[in-house]
Structure 1
Amino acid sequence: MRPDHLEPAGSSSSPTGDLEEALLSVDVLRAGRIIRESSAASTPISCIETLVVPVLEKIGKDWEEGRVALSQIYMSGRVCEDVIDTMLPAGSPDRMPHPKMAIAVLEDHHTLGKRIVLALLRAGGYEVTDYGSGVTVDGLVESTVRDLVEILLISTLMLPAALRAKEAIARIKEAMPETRVIVGGAPFRFDPDLWRESGADAVGHSASDTLAAVRAMTEAA
């Protein structure tokens, strides 16, 4: 088991190292200052792409390897999300509203994984519609088609929901073949082939995986 909190490895002299240390220590004021100073020296989007996202991706990978706690990756995403929201409020022309993205937990109400992914995506400057948890297949299909979603993220906790994702994805792609779908959750970690069988375009085994998949899809769009 991972501990509830791990101490940062030590001080560093680079902006990325400084921000990582501040986030892992949940030093909100210091993290905010580092991000704002970087933004002032360039642009908010440049700051996000060259500082915030790489640091969040590194923290995510460190969590996968047991070097940081789940609470730290979650709080890192939330702190960055809050700072970015003050720099790029919702609807800001400097945010990345395209491709149009949405996220949902299918037929379940365990939302921690979704909250972490959503925080990292929003901290990365993306606009993401949150469809919430306990979403049915019919509801997910209806919302995705109505909103013309281009990248849909589906989170599941239990195998039955993961199997139901196949139906949802098939119906969505029948209506909108260009929609890309990223799935994630325990069933897809246990069965490495399940995401392909579901018809998804990618799988995110962690928040950093998902962020990387979104970035790749966005760059390819």
Structure 2
Amino acid sequence: MDIDPSKILVRYNVAKEKAQSPEELAAEMFPTAEPARSICAAIFDGEEDDVIEGLEKAIEGGADPIALIDDVLMVGMKITTDLYDQGVIFLPNVMMSADAMLEGIEFCKEQGGSSPKPKGKVVCHVAEGDVHDIGKTIVAALLRAAGYEVVDLGRDVPVDEVIAAVKKESPMMLTGTALMTTTMYAFKEVNDRLLESGIKIPFQCGGGAVNQDFVTQYELGVYGEEAADAPKMADAIVAGKGLAQLKETFHKH
């Protein structure tokens, strides 16, 4: 019998299915208008000088420097983080983009004479006894890139200092990273000391040594498998999610 091939459902559009490079995928997501498009491209490429140059053009054209932070810089950063979430690009790309975007934010603040109100404050630290701070540095950069104020306590932070900082800063969330199994037990102590003080904020824990089974042993702990989970958790808190809902959302069941 004759079969009309045009009537057969084609699952994929083969013409469109050819492999696209990360740059091509990003280019499809950039705003169409200039100079926003060039600024977003410069953020994606991690080119700080080009970001500033694009911002200068935008401001000369009458754009409000502070509005550019939300309307262009954050838009460009979101393209990078979305592609990272999809596994198209990798963490070094995200870090380069975050650096370029943060430079842009500082420039806009200088030009505008004020800064946008941060979405919230987060205290970050590396567990006592642990000097590996790359994970914490990434967490802090991604939180800043998402519009949060970060109080970075650094690495090898004694439990007393973590508790003192939380009491002083009243953050919406605390993050802790640990690469060594011997140091992650400090997280349990931080948890207990916070509860003794009547402080019940989400305590996001992650890093090479840490796993979900360990983090679920203490009340305030929420396991963050990846650095990119930190801004997602912060956004969830801003959206009104409590500790139980965070665990429900971010823990694998």
TM-score (norm 2): 0.68
Taking the aligned partners of 2:107 and 2:182, their CA distance within structure 1 comes to 40
Structure-2 residue corresponding to 1:43: 67
Task: Give how far 1:71 is off.
Answer: 2.1
Shift of 1:155: 1.3
Q: Cα deviations across residues 147-168 of structure 1 (Å, max 9, x unaligned)?
A: 3333111111112222220111
Matched, 1:136 2:158: yes
Name the residue aligned to 2:229. Answer: 209
Give the structure 2 partner of residue 4 of structure 1. Answer: none
Equivalent residue letter for 1:27: E
Determine the C-alpha separation between the residues in 2 that align with 1:177 and 1:112.
28
Contact 1:8/1:24, CA 8 A, preserved across alignment: no
Q: What's 1:99 paired with? A: 120
Question: What is the CA distance between 1:174 and its match in structure 2?
Answer: 2.5
Return closer, same or farther for 1:195/1:85 CA change in 2, 3 Å cut-off: farther
Pick which of 104-113 and 146-155 moved more.
Answer: 146-155
Question: Given the alignment of the two structures, is residue 9 of structure 1 paired with residue 18 of structure 2, yes or no?
Answer: no
Of 127, 132, 136, 2:149 maps to 127
Deviation of 1:201 after TM superposition, in Å, equals 4.4
Q: How far apart are residue 44 of structure 1 and its match?
A: 4.1
Change (3 A) 1:14 1:72: closer
178, 203, 219: which one aligns with 1:199: 219
Q: CA deviation at 1:40?
A: 3.4
Which structure's CA Rg is the greater one?
A: 2
Q: Are the counterparts in 2 of residues 152 and 179 from structure 1 also a CA contact under 8 Å?
A: yes
User: Which residue matches 2:78?
Assistant: 54
CA distance in 1 between partners of 2:179 and 2:93 (Å): 21
Is 1:117–1:207's contact at 8 Å kept on the other side of the alignment? yes
**2:102–2:145 contact (8 Å) kept in structure 1:** yes
- 1:72 is matched with 93
CA distance in 2, matches of 1:48, 1:211: 19
Gaps of 5+ in 2: 1-20, 242-253
3-state SS in 1 of match to 2:155: coil
Structure with the greater relative contact order (CA < 8 A, sep ≥ 6): 1 or 2?
1
Task: Compare 35-44 and 153-162 and name the one that shifted more.
Answer: 35-44
Q: Does the 8 Å contact 1:84/1:125 carry over to 2?
A: no
Distance 2:223 2:167 in 1: 21
Distance 1:184 1:157, change over 3 A: same
How many residue pairs align between the two structures?
208
Aligned mates of 1:159, 1:215 — CA distance in 2: 29
Aligned residue in 2 for 1:219:
239
Quickly say closer, same or farther: Cα 1:121–1:85, change in 2 above 3 A.
farther
% same residue = 23
Distance 1:214 1:52, change over 3 A: farther
**5+ unaligned residues in a row in structure 1: which ranges?**
1-6
Question: In the alignment, is the contact (CA less than 8 A) between 1:44 and 1:87 conserved in 2?
Answer: yes
Task: Describe the superposition over 1:68-109 as per-residue Cα deviations: whole angstroms up to 9, x where unpaired.
Answer: 3432222111111221122246x945231x633211111211
Q: C-alpha distance in 2, partners of 1:121/1:139?
A: 21
Deviation of the 1:145 alpha carbon: 1.8
Instruction: Tell me how far apart the structure 1 counterparts of residues 42 and 190 of structure 2 sit (CA, whole Å).
Output: 41
Structure 2 CA distance for partners of 1:192 and 1:203, relative to 1, 3 Å: closer
The 1-side partners of 2:213 and 2:127 are apart by: 19
Separation in 2, partners of 1:135, 1:141: 10
| Equivalent AA in structure 1 for residue 215 of structure 2 | W
Residue matched to 1:183: 205
